[in-house]
Chains A and B, each alone.
Chain A
């Protein structure tokens, strides 16, 4: 099962090896960092690109090359590079309700920087002292350095847009200010996916930022996409079992010319240019490979793509009981009648009753509490959603709701629904005229 090792290598995003179509940006960033390390020049830059466009990969590649290059050139600089610190301050602020949290984050970021710089006020692995003390200490430390003698520092701010929300943007101001003054040489690199990031910066912070923006776009066309697909799947030359590798690679070549595969890829490409989704697709396909089924077939890819493109809500509808389906159809009719206005349980129940009385022959007339129960189940599945939070005062029957499904979805799901009573189907298909 050597292939399994291989697919792991493929589908972990970090080791994907090559970068595609961003040679220019790569060169730019490399030059920038080289100047910082060699000349001690301070800089600041932003790498902007949509999610999955390889921002972090680009940076990692540049850093790797930088270290290697110095090692090749002379050993002296290598030590100096080891002294370089990557201040990767990453925060995911899920909680936006607490404004105090924002300030804490600047505080935490500061402590993290101090820790990573191994300054002398670090006790063990922890940093103590108040926020103000720490800030003063760090600034003092950075001020003492100068261009020629201190070790350059690289700050990498991942999810840069979140730092923008910190109070007063103190951290950013100070970092940019240092990068614009004759202090310790630092380079600040921010990674973000927001195109409007510059507008979020405060005017003083903005003035201090050097306005270097490196844009990453997935600017390749479909031919390149196919090539990437091939490269991602093919085995490297140093694979132990050579004959198998040959066979595998031939198969991949074959696949890339196959019509169905091309269709699948084209669809995905139209849908998104993100390489991560391609990886996901390949991952699903490769996971079907076993001893008995050693090569990827076109059908595997098709299957995988189907899996990816599945509609989640419509899937839920498949698992519902007939009563619940009926309720959803009733809601759909209500939506049609009232043009998307919200409804409550009572209305849905009335609609259902009408259907039972007039048309239903095979449907059993359920008690109201039973219908209520079914309705609440839908609520739990988030197929319907209350407009306002349920309060103590409003009765549950009269709580205003909205349906979270589209008509098309309902009809599609109904088509695929097994053993659906015909009159229910008819009812769903019928428009207002049946009244």
Chain B
């Protein structure tokens, strides 16, 4: 879909080459024309104009000033730009330097040197206005906020500065120049385009039964799902299409109550304008309903600004979702504010809200202003808090809007667009349908509704605003009282040590690897292996932490780090979703996320930081076609990806064993393996953790580390044993003064953890169970096979009972004994439906059984 759309957009030079550089074989131009075939719009952008450039996150385009346009030898169109940084692009920790609130319309003159100022022309979206302001100045209130950005300060990666006078004047000049041009870039809509759209619309309105309609809806849903990238043109078309004549027609019907409708209209406008702050609130192809809405919304700003049409760029679906909370809220607050002006409406609302079913309300949070209101009314107190914050903000803006919409209304008699303002009245009508005792669902199927139906899922979705949080505890945790408790705290695996002893070499290797890649701005992979509990993940985290610190001190270019864990994914393909969410905050399906990520890493992103991706438990990302692993390791090899992957797994030869050749070859040869800890290292780890706390005997530590090193070299195990030993010690010395952990305690802890339970289990079994085991041994010896049926064992059992002089058990009892031993897994038994013929095998060695039974 996205490629199809891109093909519809033609970039061509404006005018003839101004100059050419022979040496570099470049041709320079003074402007570029962006032509969208679909909507037949043409935009001309000239040097000095301010433009929006596609970013990695579709709802956050970059702002830049066009400085140069040229075509290189390979006939690729390039542009040189001066960047402006949005507040969100500035690192969190540096934002504090600003010491003031920043409005979403404000950008910063970017003087960071490391950004690539050479971009491909195809990434330009459209032109915008950037107005320079002095530091003290307030932002002027404007109607189409999303079109105009303000610049007050510059940003050079370390601190903010006021704009120097010459940049200021330059910007101002450029702005003036830019102000003149938009007229020429006015878009035009041939009437033959609009009429089919109109027809479509009307058809939809007429009935919901026609198959075409269904098709249409499907199409709109379809596009909604993909709405994120480069949809601007498409949505433009939709936006134009949705200035629908039908809507206008409807309006004329309800002229008597126009004034009220107007009130409502401006409310709606306002809330949408306010909430979707960055770019235009036009909801692209998201849904029919939304589209209709946005058509209405987009229009009022057109009155004051004639060139708006071309600029009415829409936001993406993701953006919409993000803001849907706030959008839901605002009508409610608005209702309060406007209650005096629109009392009639208000009362209606109330009845609706009474009738409206709660669930339905939450199902269709963006249906009509009314349903939104219901929805808002249903939201919890948490939202109320946000309202109060919003209220203050919106109160100011409301006044502007009132006046502006008044203006637009006065001119509405000849201006088509402002008629659209009255559409809300139409909605009042449709919402009256709701207030009838009919069930909500049936009203949804009325033609008017069918148009407005949103493709929301049938089940109530998890609320977007749910914050993942565990309830707080009401009582403070106790501080460790004794030395042993203190030691236990330090020995817990979760305790983060100040440094990682015994992994200095590995640390340095990984650090150097990532550092060099960061400095070069290239990508690469590293594969790290080692048995569990050897500190792989801890070391990698430590490296990232150190690098981040270095980046903060500006020793290194800043980077982003993302971590995924194969075990924490439900499905390998979910890896895409997680990576994308961590990178950009978007929530999409797995396949879509894969497409977006591929686009992100394969295309030259102008201002992208290097990404360090940690893939833990790599082996679980294995799929039959291995496409997840293939993609992961393919991205770093792309020229522009700037992606560094640190893959962690247990097996050293994982690439050879489970990966296909093409995957393994992309993984490269940078490998590292973490050896299991030796006893000396374990000893060092424990003592470094204990630090100054004197809770252990030296010998005790040595015993533990030797024992663990001999078994697995797992540091976790080692720490767990020590922790258990402190408990035993504490338990033993309860009465007397607390002492330090001695050998005896450690030995007990080790025994507890490593002793085989079987022998003990056999010794504590009942007499018949023991005899049964003996009978099994006897039968095995007789038959010479390590497997017997219950019937055979039963005969042996009876014989043994006779020798012991005991009452011989019945078959039912034997079966019960057998199944009990089977449940403990002392025996392996077949499923019990074979009764006497089920086969029995020992789960432990015969010697163990003999040993366990002999002592009796």
Are the CB atoms of B472 and A149 closer together than 8 Å? yes
Are the CB atoms of A204 and B567 closer together than 8 Å? yes
List chain B residues, Cβ under 8 A from A151. 470-474
List chain A residues, Cβ under 8 A from B617. 204
Quote the shortest CB–CB distance from B844 to chain A (angstroms): 9
Are the CB atoms of B717 and A41 closer together than 8 Å? no
Residue from B493, B578, B809 with most neighbouring chain A CB atoms (10 Å): B493
> Known interface pairs A210-B720, A272-B817. Does A193 touch B768 (Cβ–Cβ under 8 Å)?
no
Residue of B nearest to A149 (CB): B472
- For the complex, count residues of B whose C-beta is within 8 A of A: 84
CA distance A145 to B471 in the complex (A): 9
Quote the shortest CB–CB distance from A140 to chain B (angstroms): 4
List chain A residues, Cβ under 8 A from B769. 272
Are the CB atoms of A117 and B766 closer together than 8 Å? no
Quote the shortest CB–CB distance from A217 to chain B (angstroms): 4
Task: Indicate whether A125 reaches chain B with its CB closer than 8 angstroms.
Answer: no
CA distance A210 to B577 in the complex (A): 32
List chain A residues, Cβ under 8 A from B811. 311, 313-314, 406, 409
Residue from B469, B472, B795, B817 with most neighbouring chain A CB atoms (10 Å): B469
Task: Indicate whether A141 reaches chain B with its CB closer than 8 angstroms.
Answer: yes
List chain B residues, Cβ under 8 A from A180. 493-494, 716
CA distance A311 to B724 in the complex (A): 48
Task: Indicate whether A77 reaches chain B with its CB closer than 8 angstroms.
Answer: yes
Are the CB atoms of B473 and A272 closer together than 8 Å? no
Task: Indicate whether B824 reaches chain A with its CB closer than 8 angstroms.
Answer: yes
Task: Indicate whether A279 reaches chain B with its CB closer than 8 angstroms.
Answer: no
Are the CB atoms of B757 and A195 closer together than 8 Å? yes
CA distance A79 to B475 in the complex (A): 9
List chain A residues, Cβ under 8 A from B714. 207
Are the CB atoms of B731 and A27 closer together than 8 Å? yes
Q: Mark B484-515, 1 if CB is under 8 A from A, else 0.
A: 01001100111110000000000000000000
Checking B720, B764, B810 against A217 with a beta-carbon cut-off of 8 angstroms, the contacting residue is: B764
> Known interface pairs A131-B570, A211-B717. Does A121 touch B463 (Cβ–Cβ under 8 Å)?
yes
Residue of A nearest to B826 (CB): A195
Quote the shortest CB–CB distance from A329 to chain B (angstroms): 17
Task: Indicate whether A323 reaches chain B with its CB closer than 8 angstroms.
Answer: no
Residue of A nearest to B649 (CB): A204
Are the CB atoms of B488 and A41 closer together than 8 Å? yes
CA distance A88 to B797 in the complex (A): 40
* Count of chain A to chain B residue pairs whose CB atoms are closer than 8 Å in the complex: 230
Task: Indicate whether A349 reaches chain B with its CB closer than 8 angstroms.
Answer: no
In A55-84, the 8 Å CB interface with B consists of: 76-77, 79-80, 83
CA distance A311 to B811 in the complex (A): 6
Are the CB atoms of A39 and B485 closer together than 8 Å? yes
> Known interface pairs A121-B462, A147-B477. Does A141 touch B489 (Cβ–Cβ under 8 Å)?
no
Task: Indicate whether B257 reaches chain A with its CB closer than 8 angstroms.
Answer: no
List chain A residues, Cβ under 8 A from B470. 117, 119, 141-142, 144-145, 150-151, 153, 184
Residue from A181, A195, A212 with most neighbouring chain B CB atoms (10 Å): A195
- For the complex, count residues of A whose C-beta is within 8 A of B: 92
Are the CB atoms of A193 and B477 closer together than 8 Å? no
List chain B residues, Cβ under 8 A from A409. 811
Are the CB atoms of A144 and B816 closer together than 8 Å? no
Are the CB atoms of A123 and B468 closer together than 8 Å? no
Task: Indicate whether B569 reaches chain A with its CB closer than 8 angstroms.
Answer: yes
Are the CB atoms of A193 and B494 closer together than 8 Å? no
List chain A residues, Cβ under 8 A from B494. 42, 147, 180-183
Quote the shortest CB–CB distance from B505 to chain A (angstroms): 22
Task: Indicate whether A108 reaches chain B with its CB closer than 8 angstroms.
Answer: no
Quote the shortest CB–CB distance from B210 to chain A (angstroms): 33
> Known interface pairs A144-B468, A203-B532. Does A38 touch B478 (Cβ–Cβ under 8 Å)?
yes
Quote the shortest CB–CB distance from B279 to chain A (angstroms): 28
Are the CB atoms of B533 and A207 closer together than 8 Å? yes
Task: Indicate whether B194 reaches chain A with its CB closer than 8 angstroms.
Answer: no
Quote the shortest CB–CB distance from B30 to chain A (angstroms): 50
Are the CB atoms of A174 and B495 closer together than 8 Å? no
Task: Indicate whether B102 reaches chain A with its CB closer than 8 angstroms.
Answer: no
List chain B residues, Cβ under 8 A from A215. 757, 760-761
Checking A38, A267, A312, A382 against B477 with a beta-carbon cut-off of 8 angstroms, the contacting residue is: A38
Q: Mark B780-806, 1 if CB is under 8 A from A, else 0.
A: 000000000001001100100000001
Task: Indicate whether A138 reaches chain B with its CB closer than 8 angstroms.
Answer: yes
Are the CB atoms of A132 and B569 closer together than 8 Å? yes
CA distance A368 to B546 in the complex (A): 90
Are the CB atoms of B480 and A39 closer together than 8 Å? yes
Task: Indicate whether B843 reaches chain A with its CB closer than 8 angstroms.
Answer: yes
CA distance A324 to B790 in the complex (A): 25
Are the CB atoms of A269 and B810 closer together than 8 Å? no
> Known interface pairs A174-B568, A385-B835, A408-B798. Does A119 touch B466 (Cβ–Cβ under 8 Å)?
yes
In B424-468, the 8 Å CB interface with A consists of: 459-463, 466-468
Checking A31, A145, A309, A404 against B727 with a beta-carbon cut-off of 8 angstroms, the contacting residue is: A31
Quote the shortest CB–CB distance from A43 to chain B (angstroms): 9
Are the CB atoms of B760 and A141 closer together than 8 Å? no
CA distance A212 to B754 in the complex (A): 10
Residue of A nearest to B493 (CB): A180
Are the CB atoms of B469 and A211 closer together than 8 Å? no
In A250-302, the 8 Å CB interface with B consists of: 267, 269-274
Task: Indicate whether B834 reaches chain A with its CB closer than 8 angstroms.
Answer: yes
Are the CB atoms of A310 and B810 closer together than 8 Å? yes
Task: Indicate whether A139 reaches chain B with its CB closer than 8 angstroms.
Answer: yes
Quote the shortest CB–CB distance from A34 to chain B (angstroms): 10
Quote the shortest CB–CB distance from A138 to chain B (angstroms): 7
Are the CB atoms of A120 and B466 closer together than 8 Å? yes
Checking B650, B717, B760, B798 against A204 with a beta-carbon cut-off of 8 angstroms, the contacting residue is: B650
CA distance A194 to B369 in the complex (A): 60
Are the CB atoms of A267 and B807 closer together than 8 Å? yes
Checking A40, A135, A181 against B493 with a beta-carbon cut-off of 8 angstroms, the contacting residue is: A181
> Known interface pairs A129-B461, A182-B496. Does A406 touch B469 (Cβ–Cβ under 8 Å)?
no
CA distance A217 to B720 in the complex (A): 24
Task: Indicate whether B699 reaches chain A with its CB closer than 8 angstroms.
Answer: no
Task: Indicate whether B698 reaches chain A with its CB closer than 8 angstroms.
Answer: no
Quote the shortest CB–CB distance from A268 to chain B (angstroms): 9
Are the CB atoms of B493 and A39 closer together than 8 Å? no
Q: Mark B383-417, 1 if CB is under 8 A from A, else 0.
A: 00000000000000000000000000000000000
CA distance A314 to B462 in the complex (A): 59
In A192-242, the 8 Å CB interface with B consists of: 193-196, 203-204, 206-208, 210-213, 215, 217-219
Are the CB atoms of B843 and A203 closer together than 8 Å? no
Residue from A117, A121, A309, A312 with most neighbouring chain B CB atoms (10 Å): A121
Residue of A nearest to B460 (CB): A123
List chain B residues, Cβ under 8 A from A145. 469-470
Checking B474, B806, B812 against A312 with a beta-carbon cut-off of 8 angstroms, the contacting residue is: B812
Q: Mark B806-836, 1 if CB is under 8 A from A, else 0.
A: 1101111100110010011110000000111
Residue of A nearest to B578 (CB): A136
Residue of B nearest to A107 (CB): B570
CA distance A375 to B824 in the complex (A): 38
Query: Which 7 interchain pairs have the tightest Cβ spacing?
Result: A207-B532, A141-B468, A217-B764, A311-B810, A120-B466, A270-B767, A140-B468
Q: A136-B568, A180-B494, A193-B824 are in contact. List 18 more A-B contacts (CB 8 A).
A: A31-B727, A76-B475, A120-B469, A132-B577, A137-B466, A151-B474, A182-B496, A193-B823, A195-B826, A204-B650, A208-B716, A211-B720, A309-B813, A310-B810, A311-B810, A340-B791, A406-B811, A406-B836
CB<8 Å pairs between A and B, sample of 19: A39-B477, A79-B475, A119-B468, A119-B469, A123-B460, A132-B574, A137-B468, A144-B469, A173-B568, A181-B493, A203-B650, A204-B617, A207-B532, A207-B714, A212-B724, A213-B752, A213-B753, A270-B767, A309-B809
A residues near B, CB below 8 A?
Answer: 27, 31, 38-42, 48, 50-51, 76-77, 79-80, 83, 117-121, 123, 128-129, 131-133, 135-142, 144-145, 147-153, 168, 170, 173-174, 177, 180-184, 193-196, 203-204, 206-208, 210-213, 215, 217-219, 267, 269-274, 309-314, 340, 382, 385, 402, 404-406, 408-409
